[in-house]
Structure 1
Amino acid sequence: MLDYLIKNGTVFDGSGSEPVETNVGISSDRIVYIGNEDISAREFIDAKGLIISPGFIDTHAHSEFTLLADGRAEGKLSQGVTTEVNGNCGLSAAPLFGEAFEHREIDLKELGIKERWSTFGEYFSILKNKGIAINFATLCGHGNIRASIIGYRDIAPDKHEMEEMKRLLVEALGHGAKGISTGLIYPPGVYSTTEELIELCKTFEGQGPLNSHVDKSSSRSSYIYASHMRSESDELIEAIDEVVRIGKEASAHVHISHIKTAGERNWWKIDNVIKLIEKARDEGVSLTCDRYPYTAASTDLDTILPSWVYDGGVEEELRRLKDSDDLKKIKAEIGYKSEDYWKGIYISSVTKSKNKWMEGESIFDISVKLCKLPVDVLIDILIDERARVGAIFFSMNEDNLKKFLSLPYVMVGSDSSVRSFSGPTFTGKPHPRAFGSFPKFISKYVRDEGLMSLSEAIRKMTYLSATTFGLKKRGLIKEGFYADITVFDYERIIDRSTYREPFKMSEGIAYVFVNGTMALREGEFTGDLSGRII
């Protein structure tokens, strides 16, 4: 007898093929039956008028700490997401040694996380014991590796340090990391050379997962290099050239995180960007990308500063912001910015209660209220908050977004951490992509604007993502595959989260199964924590 039989729905299997009206049977954690015969089950779910899809895979997440603080993952489950790929932009849960460990301490305290760890093996044990509602896959952050060995200094690794960095990466791959990620606008990644990254990626050859916490069926013999590139604006072309070079010289699959053309002066580059990527793919470089369906980015506010300001860590950054000579140099390098520029930067999170009124406000509006210049507001906030300020940047073009989303090798990634509608992660004014990326992609760009077929859209959210990141037996509605399934109403699905009111649940997701367990029933959370480390 089956555990569940989902009947009368329209199945989009994730491969991009045409849908079929059929039933899907679940037993334990697997899909065990697809067909129209009369079969016994403990529970029947009538999906008439609904779409049955593989669970959506968020290829670009940042949940290593928020998921540990609150494993319910409501913001992602309510979008139909069953699996996340974490450890992006150079930041992962491990390794955490030396300065890397010290740097994360304040994050852990803010989220109320009492456990401490150094390796992925230790972290996975903690995560597994706490329980999670969705599946967790991860890359290994290059920033973690570099900070653990070298710290946050602008220096090149010597021979011994390079060997230690390789050792940490090999250990991470052995524990189940899917590859390495870089954040080349953030310290310490900003200080690395292309040669350093190529040498690290060459360690992929011959490595395989060893850790007992990792589902062995998800193992792969090849790994991925995913990069938040050195530039997504003025030096975008050069940054893509670097990714391509790494792919060629390290013989590695390379992946561009949240591909974009940032800043109006760079919007015209879209066609050149696509030509460059497709030329590399034609030449045999295995290259993919991810993107969220919004025209605003979100990251740390201090990314506006020149990279030399970060050298040496947060204390050095703050010292330079307070030093009159350094401050003059910083302001000169930032240069004159128009009112529109400052109006396009919103504060999304601060740490001090006295500054909470700033969340959801633009730098320009704050400057008017405080009767200060916007650049002075920027500096004052960073000093007062010890550089722990999140921001949303409106810098992208809608037409370019559509072009990127329509590319067959671009998948959907929210670039966000898991949040829930109560508890320790219910804070700040996070980017609405944390709650609406997948419903918005389907409702706005597929259903309403016809950017692509629903079959193709689902392929990009499921099987393409699974094969890119080596998630075995996931991403398809197929007998023998894990029962990660999302059932949704194509006519009703829509995102409700906004920049001003982000904590709003999307509509139209009816059921979500994670490893055969129902995590969302008729749009309501069940509270089951059936996610796994994969």
Structure 2
Amino acid sequence: MTYDLLIKGGTIIDGTGTQRYKGNVAIKDGRIAAVGDVDGEATQVIDAAGLIVAPGFIDCHTHYDAQMFWDPTIDPATWHGITTIVVGNCGFTLAPVRPDDKPYALGLFSATEEVPMDVLEQNTSIDWETFPEYLDKLEKVECGVNVLTQFGHAAVRRYVMGEDSLKREATTAEIGEMVRLAEEAMKAGAWGVSTSFSPHHIDGSGGHVPSFFAADDETEALAVAVGRMGRRSFALNPRSKREGISPEDKALMSRLAKASGITISWNDFGAGAADWLGTLEFMEEEIRQGRDVRVVARCQPAETRYNLSQISPLYSGQAAWREFCGLPREQQMAAMADPAWRARLAEYWKGVRFLAAASVEKVDNPKLKPLVGRYLIDIAEERGVDPIDLMFDIALDDGLDTIFLLRGRFKADESDAERILRSPSTLIGVSDGGAHLQTFAGADFPTYFLQHWVREKGTFTLEEGVAALTSEVADFMGIKDRGTLAPGLAADVVIFDADKVQPELLETKPFPGGTAMRLVKRARAVPYVIVNGTPIIEKGERTSAVPGLLLRA
């Protein structure tokens, strides 16, 4: 047989967690034809000597829903070995949507996911209404990676209830219609349902998103529908998180897991969260009791940029900050200098643990240049002032143009993070790729994980690390033909140098039209990324190939 592609001489880590071995991988018609002791003629041969050959990585928490329409490369995910993405998270999907409600759908994405509205309007032409129609559209979109989508609770609640979705609980009839539409979506290929109750998620008007107002009975009905349809995933963003998961949220997750019989997952958990250990022990006990409650956790340090004149996921849940960020710049300057306004704005920051990790990243005022790179608490201690007042004063002196940076700074948190990442209740992920593009770039999590937690810390063996990025995520989502290297499975492959793999430094790229900039990171030592048998990264550079598929459940 003549193969389409033969990867020769590499060290194979097949994604199952079993021991690595030397061998070849043969690919034919987009599928793995043979693994191990295989040779023969091939149209293309890749020399993988000295490199790891592994299944393509799967990112289970992204927001590339809109980016897919204007960026077939799904930048920067592909640089980091990601070959499959899951969209439709946090309850946000671009379907179902009524013809006269398209501005609301785009406004919600713009506000919560921090994608400029003009970029969405110019590059996302919504010519569908139902979720099956949306999937048919996605099937025609050229994309470099495979795409799975969940069904969004916020979207369907808005579709069924209209403006009332932002005001009240749903009636029994309305819940029934939401369930019917969710089942219709899953029959068409949706992989599950996602929702959000987070006060930090806002729509285009600055108010809470529709799913925020759902009663527990409504949420349970959707979760039960997922189980009834044979799907595996119900993903939620809880009401509490930064201040610690509340007893009410824990009770809801336990209730949903028991009623549905499926995995209930939530996202974005780290060692900086209040009572993180109690939350982790709660999930581990739920699993022991037969209720599958899990978290998708970040593995890289927090690195979030914010400008106090603009709404940020850090404080979008606060009414005072939403009001402040909606003011014209001159009124913002006056408000921040006003004692009453200042007290309202400062209230959120009091007792916030991560303020200790805030530094000054960029200023326009030359007099403030010596502060760049320094932590606010260090400057405040020198001056004998409150760090919150200091932050506001720096911003005012800079015309509210200052960029502040939150970055993890305390090494003591590493042991806490290890405990979280090694827990049986934890999945590795939460890139938030496609969202918060002016705040952070989280699509580098696979290469950071391999660099830091595998190579440098030794918290995971390389075999365990690859499994965490591949088969464990595939099992979690119910993906049958990806996540491992085995004959007959889809030929999604990443080839990397285990001794050198890591993210590159942060850089900026323009959005389409050049109206704003977005943050991206490339990867080091990932020379080949292959999707459905076709290289999309070859010798470290992106090809023009777009072999990705819409994967229907």
TM-score (norm 1): 0.80
Asked if 2 retains the 8 angstrom alpha-carbon contact of 1:66 and 1:417, the reply is: no
Task: Give me the whole-angstrom Cα distance separating, in 2, the residues matched to 1:62 and 1:11.
Answer: 31
2: CA distance, partners of 1:309 / 1:368:
18
Task: Return the match for 2:242 from 233, 249, 252.
Answer: 233
2:534 is aligned with what amino acid? T
Supply the distance in 2 between the matched residues of 1:119 and 1:244 (Cα, whole angstroms).
31
Structure 2 letter corresponding to 1:128: E
Going from structure 1 to structure 2, the CA distance change for 1:181 and 1:490 (only over 3 Å counts) comes to: same
Q: Counterpart in 2 of 1:123?
A: 134
Matches within 5 A, 1:179-328: 179-185=192-198, 186=201, 187-188=208-209, 189-207=211-229, 221-238=230-247, 239-263=249-273, 266=274, 269-296=275-302, 301=312, 304=315
- Alpha-carbon distance in 2 for matches of 1:479, 1:281: 33
Alignment of 1:396-435 (within 5 A): 397-418=413-434, 429-434=438-443
Q: CA deviation at 1:286?
A: 2.1
1:432-485 deviation per Cα after TM superposition (whole angstroms, max 9, x unaligned): 323x21110001110111011111111111011111112121101000000000
Residue 476 (structure 1) aligns with:
484
Contact 1:416–1:433 (8 Å) recurs in 2:
yes
* Residue 398 to residue 364, structure 1, CA distance change in 2 (3 Å): farther
Distance in 1 (CA, whole Å) between partners of 2:280 and 2:221 is 27
Range that drifts further, 336-345 or 32-41 = 336-345
Match of 2:157 in 1: 146
Partners in 1 of 2:46 and 2:292 — Cα distance? 41
Q: What is the number of equivalent residue pairs in this alignment?
A: 483
- The aligned residue for residue 368 of structure 1 is 393
Question: Secondary structure of 2:35's match?
Answer: strand
Q: CA deviation at 1:142?
A: 1.3
The alignment partner of 1:78 has SS state of: helix
Contact 2:244 2:276 (8 Å CA) reproduced: no
Q: 1:394 to 1:97 in 2, by over 3 A?
A: farther
Contact persistence 2:234–2:265 (CA under 8 A): yes
More divergent stretch after superposition (474-483 vs 26-35): 26-35
Using the TM superposition, name which of 21-30 and 120-129 deviates more: 120-129
2:24–2:39 contact (8 Å) kept in structure 1: no
Given the alignment, which residue of 179, 184, 202 partners 1:166? 179
Read off the aligned partner of 2:296 and give its amino acid letter.
D
Aligned-residue offset at 1:102: 2.6
2:462 is the counterpart of 1:454: yes
Give the letter aligned to residue 285 of structure 1: R
Change (3 A) 1:398 1:532: same
Q: 2:529 aligns to what?
A: 512
Q: 1:341 aligns with which of 327, 333, 355?
A: 355
Contact 1:26 1:483 survives alignment (8 Å): yes
1:236 aligned counterpart, secondary structure:
coil
- Contact 1:183 1:190 (C-alpha < 8 Å) held by counterparts: yes
Deviations 1:82-122 (A, max 9, x none): 00111111212322237863323354642322521323333
Distance in 1 of aligned mates of 2:13 and 2:56: 11
Q: Relative to 1, partners in 2 of residues 1:2 and 1:305: Cα closer, same or farther, differing over 3 Å?
A: closer
Distance 2:395 2:150 in 1: 42
CA contact (8 A) 1:233 1:261 kept: no
| 1:443 match: secondary structure | helix
Q: TM-score, normalised by structure 2?
A: 0.77
Alignment correspondent of 1:357: none
The answer to whether the Cα contact below 8 Å between 2:12 and 2:23 also exists between their aligned partners in 1 is yes
Between 1:26-35 and 1:96-105, the stretch displaced more is 96-105
Q: How many angstroms apart in 1 are the aligned matches of 2:87 and 2:343?
A: 36
Cα distance in structure 1, aligned partners of 2:545 and 2:404: 31
Task: State the SS of the aligned residue for 1:459.
Answer: helix
Deviation at 1:391, TM superposition (A): 9.1
After TM superposition, give the deviation of residue 277 of structure 1 in Å: 0.9
Counterpart residue type for residue 86 of structure 1? V
The CA distance in 1 between the partners of 2:341 and 2:222, in whole Å, is 36
Amino acid of the residue matched to residue 139 of structure 1?
Q
Per-residue deviation at 1:251? Answer: 2.3
Amino acid of the residue matched to residue 468 of structure 1? F
**Unmatched 5+ stretches in structure 2:** 111-116, 202-207, 363-372, 377-387, 509-517
Distance in 2, Cα, partners of 1:414 & 1:487 = 22
What is the CA–CA distance in structure 2 between the aligned matches of 1:260 and 1:510, rounded to whole Å? 31
* 5+ residue gaps, structure 1: 208-220, 349-359, 382-388, 420-426
For 1:334, what is the secondary structure of its paired residue? helix
Task: Please name the residue that 1:89 is paired with.
Answer: 90
One-letter amino acid matched to 2:393 = V
1:338 is displaced (CA, Å) by 7.5
Label 1:454 to 1:142 Cα distance change in 2 as closer, same or farther (>3 A): same
Q: 1:3 to 1:506 in 2, by over 3 A?
A: same
**RMSD over aligned Cα atoms:** 3.8
Q: SS of the residue aligned with 1:497? A: strand
Q: Which residue in 1 is equivalent to 2:546? A: 529
After alignment, is 99-108 or 143-152 more displaced? 99-108
Deviations 1:378-410 (CA, angstroms, capped at 9, x unpaired):
xx99xxxxxxx9996869943332222222442
Decide whether aligned partners of structure 1 residues 101 and 25 sit closer, same or farther in structure 2, where only a CA change above 3 A counts. Answer: same
* C-alpha distance in 2 between matches for 1:316 and 1:191: 24
Q: CA deviation at 1:262?
A: 4.3
Secondary structure of the residue aligned to 1:260 is: coil
Supply the AA of the counterpart residue of 1:457.
Answer: G
Q: Which amino acid aligns with 1:190?
A: F
Residue equivalent to 1:104:
105
Is residue 134–residue 514 contact of structure 1 (8 Å, CA) maintained in 2? yes
* Distance of 1:160 and 1:395 partners within structure 2: 51
User: Which letter maps to 2:175?
Assistant: M
**Equivalent residue of 1:145, what SS?**
helix
- % of aligned pairs identical? 24
